[in-house]
Each structure stands twice: as C-alpha cells, then as structure tokens.
Copies of this chain bind each other. A is one copy, B any other.
Amino acid sequence: MDISLRGRMIQASPIRKLKPYADQAQAKGVKVYFLNIGDPDVPTPQPVYDAFRSFNDPVLSYGPAQGFKELHTAMCDYFADYGIPLVPDNILITTGGSEAILFAFNVVADPGDEIIVFEPFYTNYNGYAYFANVTLVPLTLRGEDGFRLPSEKEIEAKITKRTRAILLCSPNNPTGTVYTPEELERVARLVKKHGLYLIGDEVYKEFVYDGLSHKSILEYKEIEDRTIVIDSISKRFSCCGARIGALITRSKDIYQAALKFAQARLCPPSVEQRAAIAAYKMGLKYFDPVRVEYQRRRDVLYEGLKAIPGVSLYKPQGAFYMIVKIPVKDVEHFVIWMLTDFSHENQTVMVAPAEGFYTTPGKGRDEMRIAYVLKEEDLKKAVVAFRAGLEKYKALHP
C-alpha cells in the first residue's frame, strides 16, 4: 500500500515540523521565545469578539460560496480608503489566504505548468504547488542587495512555453522587502508582453515602515485582466485562527473560474466572516499604533542581531520577518540544538531555518527567518539568549 507520489513528495512544513522540539523544551520548564512563526501577539481587536458574541442566527447554515456580500462591501470600503476602487464582485472570500493561493494556482495553471516565483519565498507556496500540481520556477534573490527583484532580462530568461504566471509577495514574507513602483512596473510589463498572469500576495499590506507606502498590483490598470491579489485578515487583524482570506480580481473570467472551485468546497466559515466585517469597519486608523509597534520591534531586533559577530542581515521595510545569515553550517541543526541542548537563564529561542523558503537545493542553509511578533522586552531577552546560544554552538561546532 503506497500512498500517492505527491503524498510522499510534499514536504512537511519547515516552520511547523520542528515544533515537537519546542514542546520538549517547554516540558522541561524552559521559556521559549517563538520567533519562528508569524503568529502575531497583538491582541485581536474587540469588535471581533463582539461579533462572535452577538452571533444569534437560529441555524449556523451555509453561506454563499463567494462569501457574504456585507464582507465584500466592507472590504471595498477598506480598499477605497487606500485609493483602490473595487466592486463587491471583484472579491471572493476564501478560507484563509491559503485557499486563495490554491484557487489562483488552479485557475491560471494546469498540471505541469510553471509559475515563476522569487526565492526565498513563503514556504507554503510549495505545499500548494503540490496540491495544484504546478511547478514553481525559482529566481534567487540576494540579501546583499536587499532582496530586490532581478532585471527584466533575468526574469525573462525564466519564461518558457509552460510559464503561466509570476507570483510576487509584497511586503515580502520572508524577506520584509517592499517592492518599489519601478519593480512592480517591470513585472507588469513582462506579464503583459508574454501573456502571463500576475499573482500578488499582499496580506502584509499595512505592515510598511519608515514612512514608506505599499503599492498594490491592483493599481496597474493595464494588467487588470490578468491580476489576482491574495488577501487575508490573519495578520491585518491578528486573526490567524479565523481563516478568512480573499481572492481579488477585476477579471470576470478569473472570478468565474475561481467561483466554481469555491463552490466545490461550499463556503468559508460563516461566523468568522461576521467577525471580519466588524474588524474592517474599524477603518484604517486602527493600523497606526500597530504599525508603530512593529517598526519599533523591527528596530530592536535589527540592532540586536546586527551587533552579533558573524551575523549579517538586511534591514527590511515591511511585513514582520527578516532573513538573517548566521555563521553556522546548518541552521536546522542549530535550531534543534537551541531547543534540546541549550538554555540561557532557562530561556531559549526558536527560529525558522530558511532552507525551506528556497527550492534551489542547498540555498539558505546558513540563513534563518525571524518573525518579530513578540513585545519589545521579550525581543530584547530573545536576542540575549540567541547570542549566547550562537556563541556556545560555534564553540562546540567550530
């Protein structure tokens, strides 16, 4: 009895597979600072709880496959506040941004087709590539130049007869890079020239620092028939467990095809959609203090890590991740060691090995992804413990 090839080939989540080691550390009474996963500690806003409390339909019944109209409308208002005009029929509510990725892959590509993606990239794109049987073709970015996009020529060199789309994530997970209008225009020109789709993962839209602003691929009218945005409330409203995302497109063809896939799974969660409506109604001002908080965290972590000998990193402008090069041969081994063999004042740190964020073999083995989702004082303690751990590990594994 062999399970399917894809069932054997699909990788375990590189972020989640090390969790048992963290459980072990906690079971021994060690305090673990979790910088490995983007699960924000910012409190979920009160209107979300109010929505759960006031849910009072006699039956918790199926909703529409595309989600509730009230949620579409609330999201249109939110995008309008960013200067992006949308209508309710541009928005298909999904079960997390994850499902929007799955729908997008299925709609633009057939099995064996290719999607160009810039690595390091959000590791779960890999999982969805297995689900959809599409091939992700990586173009490697370099930390030395801040993970900026390659030249038009370099991107073009990756386009084959089977290429169907380019997938961009901005603000980027895992690098924190926010692409400039010039970079986006470069990609927009290419997708138009080669008849490709452009998929933009923009779930970190509000997390942009240093006074910069986020430019959406929805702002390029000349490619609106080939543009799909992946959206989610998970990070936006600290609602990762709600599983409410969206696929956004102005193309009727894309929307109609995605809707058919959506009908197969019936509907997204009903009560959480009410919670999302309540959250969106808070308006953009909700994000101001959140943004200030994350910028401060980024600064604390960046300064703390930069001061450690042998560590090199780029200062990101967005999201809440950094890719950090550290002076060890195999970060996964180091991460496990930090959880099983090390503690500093009974504290340790969990980070994510970056290797799982690359598909090119061997890439990222000396890099880690850090999510700055903890309070400033915890981040400071985490840096102290991390530095102590790294020094001890280097002494033991020279």
Interface residues of A (CB under 8 A from B): 1, 3-8, 10-13, 16-17, 37, 39-44, 48-49, 52-53, 55-63, 65, 95-96, 98-99, 102, 106-111, 113, 124, 126-128, 130-131, 133, 164, 195, 197, 225-226, 238-243, 251, 253-254, 257-261, 263-272
Question: A52's contact among B52, B257, B268, by CB below 8 Å, is which?
Answer: B52
Q: Is B95 within 8 A of A264, CB to CB? A: no
In the complex, what distance in Å separates the CA atom of A56 from the CA atom of B254? 39
Given A59-B42, A111-B133: A3 and B253 within 8 A (CB)? yes
CB distance from A222 to the nearest CB of B (A): 13
Q: Is A59 within 8 A of B43, CB to CB? A: yes
Question: A266's contact among B108, B124, B226, B253, by CB below 8 Å, is which?
Answer: B124
Q: Is B257 within 8 A of A243, CB to CB? A: no
In the complex, what distance in Å separates the CA atom of A320 from the CA atom of B218? 45
A3 / chain B contacts, CB cutoff of 8 Å? 107-108, 253-254, 257
CB distance from A384 to the nearest CB of B (A): 25
Q: Is A261 within 8 A of B59, CB to CB? A: no
In the complex, what distance in Å separates the CA atom of A56 from the CA atom of B240? 15
CB distance from A32 to the nearest CB of B (A): 15
Complex A-B, nearest 10 residue pairs according to Cβ-Cβ distance, in ascending order = A127-B264, A241-B270, A7-B257, A13-B263, A98-B265, A62-B240, A7-B107, A52-B52, A44-B60, A60-B241
How many monomers of this chain does the complex have?
2
Tell me which of A10, A60, A99 has the highest count of chain B C-beta atoms within 10 A of its own C-beta.
A60
In the complex, what distance in Å separates the CA atom of A261 from the CA atom of B131? 8
Q: Is B107 within 8 A of A253, CB to CB? A: no
Given A12-B260, A111-B111, A254-B3: A59 and B37 within 8 A (CB)? no
Q: Is B65 within 8 A of A44, CB to CB? A: no
A6 / chain B contacts, CB cutoff of 8 Å? 106, 110-111
Q: Is A56 within 8 A of B49, CB to CB? A: yes
A107 / chain B contacts, CB cutoff of 8 Å? 3-4, 7
In the complex, what distance in Å separates the CA atom of A197 from the CA atom of B110? 26
Shortest Cβ distance from A164 into B: residue:
B4
Question: A257's contact among B10, B48, B258, B272, by CB below 8 Å, is which?
Answer: B10
Given A16-B263, A131-B106: A257 and B42 within 8 A (CB)? no
Shortest Cβ distance from A132 into B: residue:
B131
Tell me which of A58, A62, A268 has the highest count of chain B C-beta atoms within 10 A of its own C-beta.
A62
In the complex, what distance in Å separates the CA atom of A290 from the CA atom of B43? 40
Shortest Cβ distance from A44 into B: residue:
B60
Q: Is B254 within 8 A of A65, CB to CB? A: no
Shortest Cβ distance from A244 into B: residue:
B269
Q: Would you give 26 A-B contacts (Cβ < 8 Å), ordered by A?
A: A1-B225, A5-B110, A7-B108, A7-B260, A10-B257, A10-B261, A39-B59, A39-B62, A40-B59, A43-B58, A43-B59, A44-B57, A48-B60, A52-B53, A52-B55, A52-B271, A61-B240, A95-B95, A95-B265, A98-B265, A124-B263, A131-B264, A243-B243, A243-B266, A269-B269, A271-B271
Q: Is A241 within 8 A of B271, CB to CB? A: yes
Shortest Cβ distance from A16 into B: residue:
B263
Question: A44's contact among B58, B62, B133, by CB below 8 Å, is which?
Answer: B58
Shortest Cβ distance from A272 into B: residue:
B269
In the complex, what distance in Å separates the CA atom of A128 from the CA atom of B132? 11
Q: Is A16 within 8 A of B99, CB to CB? A: no
Given A1-B195, A37-B62, A264-B127: A270 and B257 within 8 A (CB)? no
